[in-house]
Structure 1
Amino acid sequence: MGPQYAPSLRSRLTPLLLFLQIGFIAIYAFYIEIESNVKVDGITFSSFYPEFQDVNVMVIVGFGFLGTFLVRYGFSGSGFNLLVAVIATQWAIILNGIESWYHRGKIPINLRSLVVAEMCTASALISIGAVMGKTNPVHLILIALLEVSGFVLNEWLLQTLLKVQPLNGIMLLHIFGAFFGLMLTWVLHRKGSEQRFEKEKFDSKTGLFSTLGTVFLWMFWPSFNSVLVDNRTPGTKLAAICSTYLALAVSAVTAAAVSVLSSPKGKLHPIHMQSCMLAGGVAVGVSMSAVHQPWEAMTIGFTAAVVSTIGFRYLKIHMLFAFQCHDTCAILSTHGLPGLLGWLAHLLIQIKDDHTTAIRFAVFHIYTLLITITLSLSMGIITGVILKWKFWRPPQDKKCFDDQAFWEFPHQAVRK
Structure 2
Amino acid sequence: MPSRHRSFRCSVPWLVLLLQALLLLRSFLGFPGVSDTYSSSSSSYPEFQDVTHMVIFGFGFFLMVLRRYGFSSTGFNFLLVVLGVQCSVLAEDLLVFLKGEQNEVGMESLTKAVMSTTAVVISTGAVLGKANPVQLIVMTLVELIFFYVSRCINGTFLEVPDYLTMMHVYLFGAYFGLALASRFPEPPPGLDKNRSTPKSELFSVLGTVFVWVFWPSFNSILVDSKEKAVLNTYLALAVSAVAAFMLSALTSKDGKFRMAHIRSAVLAGGVAVSYSAQGIHHPWIAMILGLLASVITILGAHCVQRCLNPALKLQDTSGVHFTFGLPAVLGAVATVVLRVVEGGIETRWNELSSLGYTAFFNIGAFCQTISTALITGLITGLILNIKLLKAVHVSKYFDDQFYWEFPHLSVGF
Confirm or deny a common fold (TM above 0.5).
yes
1:116 positional shift: 0.2
Which moved further from structure 2: 267-276 or 105-114? Answer: 105-114
1:312 positional shift: 1.6
Q: Which whole-Å CA distance do the structure 2 matches of 1:401 and 1:7 have between them? A: 16
Given the alignment of the two structures, is residue 322 of structure 1 paired with residue 319 of structure 2, yes or no? Answer: no
Q: Residue 266 of structure 1: SS of its match in structure 2? A: coil
Q: Is the 8 A contact 1:6 1:406 kept in 2?
A: no
Q: Is the 8 A contact 2:125 2:318 kept in 1?
A: yes
Instruction: Kindly provide the amino acid, as one letter, of the partner of residue 276 in structure 1.
Output: A
Q: What's the counterpart of residue 400 of structure 1?
A: 397
Q: Residue 9 of structure 2: SS of its match in structure 1? A: coil
Q: Residue 182 of structure 2: SS of its match in structure 1? A: helix
Figure out how many residues of one structure are paired with residues of the other and give that number. 398
Q: What's the counterpart of residue 227 of structure 1?
A: 221
Q: Which whole-Å CA distance do the structure 2 matches of 1:285 and 1:363 have between them? A: 20
Q: What's the counterpart of residue 233 of structure 1?
A: none
The equivalences for 1:192-207 within 5 A come to 195=189, 197-207=191-201
> Which of the numbers 169, 172, 182 marks the counterpart of 1:186?
182
> Which of the numbers 5, 8, 30 marks the counterpart of 1:7?
5
Report Cα offsets for 1:114-151 as digits up to 9, x if no partner.
Answer: 11001110011111110010111111111111111111
Q: What's the counterpart of residue 78 of structure 1?
A: 74
- Cα 1:106–1:348 change in 2 (3 A) is closer
Q: Which whole-Å CA distance do the structure 1 matches of 2:161 and 2:245 have between them? A: 35
Instruction: Kindly provide the amino acid, as one letter, of the partner of residue 68 in structure 1.
Output: M
Q: Which whole-Å CA distance do the structure 2 matches of 1:5 and 1:338 have between them? A: 44
The equivalences for 1:23-34 within 5 A come to 23-31=22-30
Given the alignment of the two structures, is residue 114 of structure 1 paired with residue 110 of structure 2, yes or no? Answer: yes
Given the alignment of the two structures, is residue 390 of structure 1 paired with residue 387 of structure 2, yes or no? Answer: yes
Given the alignment of the two structures, is residue 360 of structure 1 paired with residue 349 of structure 2, yes or no? Answer: no
Q: What's the counterpart of residue 347 of structure 2?
A: none
Aligned structure 1 segments of 4 or more residues deviating by more than 6 angstroms:
103-106
Given the alignment of the two structures, is residue 162 of structure 1 paired with residue 158 of structure 2, yes or no? Answer: yes
1:14 positional shift: 1.7
Q: What's the counterpart of residue 268 of structure 2?
A: 279
- Cα 1:377–1:334 change in 2 (3 A) is same
The equivalences for 1:239-318 within 5 A come to 239-318=228-307
Q: Residue 118 of structure 1: SS of its match in structure 2? A: helix
Given the alignment of the two structures, is residue 210 of structure 1 paired with residue 204 of structure 2, yes or no? Answer: yes
Q: Which whole-Å CA distance do the structure 1 matches of 2:190 and 2:332 have between them? A: 33
> Which of the numbers 317, 323, 333 marks the counterpart of 1:344?
333
Structure 1 unpaired stretches of 5+? 231-235
Relative to the length of structure 2, the TM-score reads 0.92
- Cα 1:314–1:104 change in 2 (3 A) is closer
The equivalences for 1:39-188 within 5 A come to 39-40=40-41, 43=42, 48-101=44-97, 108-188=104-184
Which moved further from structure 2: 97-106 or 126-135? Answer: 97-106
Given the alignment of the two structures, is residue 17 of structure 1 paired with residue 16 of structure 2, yes or no? Answer: yes
Q: Is the 8 A contact 1:5 1:404 kept in 2?
A: no
Q: Which whole-Å CA distance do the structure 2 matches of 1:207 and 1:335 have between them? A: 18
For the aligned residues, what is the CA RMSD? Answer: 1.9
Instruction: Kindly provide the amino acid, as one letter, of the partner of residue 201 in structure 1.
Output: R
Instruction: Kindly provide the amino acid, as one letter, of the partner of residue 214 in structure 1.
Output: T
Report Cα offsets for 1:215-268 as digits up to 9, x if no partner.
Answer: 1100000000000002xxxxx210000000000000000011111111111111
Q: Residue 274 of structure 2: SS of its match in structure 1? A: helix
Percent of paired sites with the same residue: 39
Q: Is the 8 A contact 1:197 1:397 kept in 2?
A: no
Q: Is the 8 A contact 1:183 1:380 kept in 2?
A: yes
Instruction: Kindly provide the amino acid, as one letter, of the partner of residue 261 in structure 1.
Output: L
Q: Which whole-Å CA distance do the structure 2 matches of 1:326 and 1:154 have between them? A: 26
Q: Which whole-Å CA distance do the structure 2 matches of 1:286 and 1:324 have between them? A: 31
Q: Which whole-Å CA distance do the structure 1 matches of 2:54 and 2:186 have between them? A: 35
